[in-house]
Amino acid sequence: MLSKLKIALSTLVAGATVAALTAFATPAPTPAQTAANAAPAAPMSAAAHAAMSAPAAAADPAAIVKKESSSTADHSKFKELQKDFKSGPEITKACLTCHTEAAKQIQKTKHWTFEFINPETKQKLGKRNVINNFCTAVESNQKFCNACHVGYGWEDDKFDFTAEENVDCVVCHESTGTYRKVPGLTGHPAYKDMEFPPHSGKIVKAPDLAKVAQSVGKTSRANCGACHFYGGGGDAVKHGDIDSTLKDPPKYLDIHMEKKGLNFSCGTCHMTSAHQVPGSRYAPTVAGANSKDAIPPHMRGKVDNSNPASCQSCHGNKPHPAKMTKLNEHTDKIACQTCHIPEYARGQATKMSWDWSTAGKLTPEGKPFTIKDSAGHSAYDSKKGNFVWESHVIPEYIWFNGKVNYTLSDTKLDPTHVVKINSFEGSPTDGKSMIWPVKVFRGQQPFDTVNKTLVAPHTFGNDDTSYWSNFDWDKSLTAGMKATNKPYSGKYGFVKTEMSWPITHMVAPKADALTCAQCHSKGGRLQNVKGIYMPGRGDNNHLLDMAGWALALLTLIGVLIHGAGRIYAHRKG
């Protein structure tokens, strides 16, 4: 009780100010505003959604217009690249004649190893080790999943991680827009025209590898997005704040990436050194530089261990002008993203849930089928189960201190409760946490009912054990767990899961940031954030609320008396 009173009293002055501003200056939100908590961003047309959602078509090399570049090198003039390349590794060998250390650097990154050791929790993470609640696991499915590996040929555990020619240079550096790594080809592009997906009638054109090699330059949003936009099996599926609309976003969608504005590339914030890309969902930077436990934001030109991928690296810890001092008092507990990303999935809809337990239904003829929702998104797929999609989604808000713990394949779980794939730690009293926006992805997926662990299914392939070929969970799970070299009892069920994703992209213009009343009101954005007293939220501290209103009223009376006195003195004298 005493600690709550201390917290309450510490917010009294701020509460009185907010209460006064809310009561006397800010119109009360209408019922519609309270329900929505934000004015929706400008909607995209259905045609725009369809165009953005479709995979990028291969451009005609002859139609590509060469843009003016600040680079000191024109790679199209290099004789090493004026060859009739037959494969990706041949291009890499040519690149390495000049960029002698590049492959060695890449081979030390998580983009190459698909592994990451969390320095605090010591958990062994990365795509090779984490089971998620989207496509679930990479192991046994490398031939398909490794279309998003920055290399060539990783099909199984025999892959040579030391061979430098296996590194794919052009996937991150080409600028023609014609180069695409096709799922099922172990990280290679199509070397001849091919139909993909099979039986779809869609043709993937083989790129002109010489033109691709000669086009290389700095990485672009399109380069990074070739994988990150399509994580989880499709455009906008996974993150919610990253999708193909960020290739050329309008101002309302992302203030930093608008082409006519700042035109940031991903590398503007995720500034690399020796191909190491800062910014990690396994160990994110959460608190600002004013926290003694935080990795500080990077100062440009200074060599240290700081993290460039943070808002504070450019905006500092007091980003608001003097007339908005009260907002600067929020920055030690409120993440910038909480106010400045009012909704995610503003470019196109994102997947919000995935139920694997319903997969496997077939037509009377024994064929798999799909069902679309009213917006044209897949609502059911025999291979994957049921989905729910949403757009303009209000985030969920949590206390987060940067520490994330994962449920791995050897973690014991309780199937009577929702299993958290990753647990974001934090509290209002640990001195490290901030209130962060997150996307919480919900689903049902297979688990071992005897060992009480998550399991990795073998889904892709034409073999008899692939779920997408035979729709047999017994065979699929047995093969998948054998590939992971982890125990499997042979008994399975389905368990409800949740996975959280920090929302940090698609920063809106400042005019679209949250207003005070959207949080400081009953039913507001932070209604479910526990452990603090928030003025205006209806936190059931009647005595403190009355004291705040009394102080606000006395403040107003004092201002009026002072003003009247000044007017009287002016007229008299």
Domain membership of residue 384 (yes or no) is yes
- Per DSSP, the three-state class of 535 is coil
Cβ(431)–Cβ(451) under 8 Å? no
Is residue 269 domain-resident? no
**Mean per-residue pLDDT for 129-158?**
95
pLDDT for the residue 21: 36
429 lies in the same domain as 556:
no
- Domain membership flag for residue 387: yes
| Burial class of residue 482 (count of CB atoms within 10 Å of its CB; 0-12, 13-18, 19+) | middle
What range does the domain containing 549 cover? 541-572
**Interatomic CA distance for residues 187 and 54, integer angstroms:** 21
Report how far residue 177's alpha carbon sits from residue 207's, in angstroms, rounded to the nearest whole number.
9
% of the chain with per-residue pLDDT over 90: 71
pLDDT band at 418 (very low <50, low <70, confident <90, very high): very high
Name the pLDDT band for 78 (thresholds 50, 70, 90).
Answer: very high
368 and 413 together in one domain: yes
- 370 shares a domain with 469: yes
d(CA 406, CA 417): 16
pLDDT at 305: 53
Question: How would you class 49 by CB atoms within 10 Å of its CB: exposed for 0-12, middle for 13-18, buried for 19 or more?
Answer: buried
412 and 558 in a single domain? The answer is: no
559 with 446, same domain? no
Q: What is the distance, to the nearest Å, from the Cα of residue 76 to the centroid of all Cα atoms in its chain? A: 35
Among 346, 283, 279, 273, residue whose Cα is nearest residue 303:
273
Question: Is 302 within the bounds of a domain?
Answer: no
Q: Looking at the 3D structure of the chain, how many domains does it have?
A: 2
Mean pLDDT computed over 473-477 = 98
Contact 317, 288 (CB under 8 A): yes
Residue 504 counted as domain residue: yes
Q: Which two tokens stand for residue 427?
A: 């509290």
3-class secondary structure, 429: coil
488 with 545, same domain?
A: no
pLDDT band at 287 (very low <50, low <70, confident <90, very high): low
Average pLDDT over every residue of 364-390: 97
When pLDDT is cut at 50, 70 and 90, the band that residue 17 belongs to is very low
pLDDT of res. 68 = 59
| Residue 312: both structure tokens together | 């504070």
Phi, psi torsion values for 264, nearest 5 degrees:
-65, 140
pLDDT tens sequence across 485-540: 999 999 999 999 999 999 999 999 999 999 999 999 999 999 999 999 888 888 87
| Residue range 256-284: mean pLDDT, rounded | 91
| 510 domain-assigned | yes
CA-wise closest residue to 281 among 249, 246, 314, 309: 309
Element housing 570 (H / E): helix 542-572
Query: Is pLDDT larger for residue 462 or for residue 355?
Result: 355
Give the pLDDT confidence score for residue 259 in this predicted structure.
96
Can you give the pTM of this predicted structure? 0.82
The span from the CA of 143 to the CA of 166, in Å, is 15
Q: Regarding predicted confidence, which is higher, 351 or 21? A: 351
User: If you average pLDDT over every residue of the chain, what do you get?
Assistant: 86
pLDDT of residue 307: 60
Q: Does residue 565 sit in the same domain as residue 474?
A: no
CB 7 within 8 A of CB 530: no
- Say how far apart CA 229 and CA 226 lie, in whole Å: 6
261 occurs within a structural domain: no
Q: How far apart are CA 430 and CA 434, in angstroms?
A: 10
Q: Please give the Cα distance from 550 to 542 (Å, whole number).
A: 12
Amino acid at 450: V
515 and 401 share one domain? yes
Find the mean pLDDT for residues 16-35.
Answer: 38
8 A C-beta contact, residue 501 and residue 438 = yes
Position 542 confidence tier, pLDDT thresholds 50, 70, 90: confident
Tell me: do 433 and 499 sit in the same domain: yes
Question: How far is the C-alpha of 254 from the C-alpha of 392, rounded, in Å?
Answer: 14
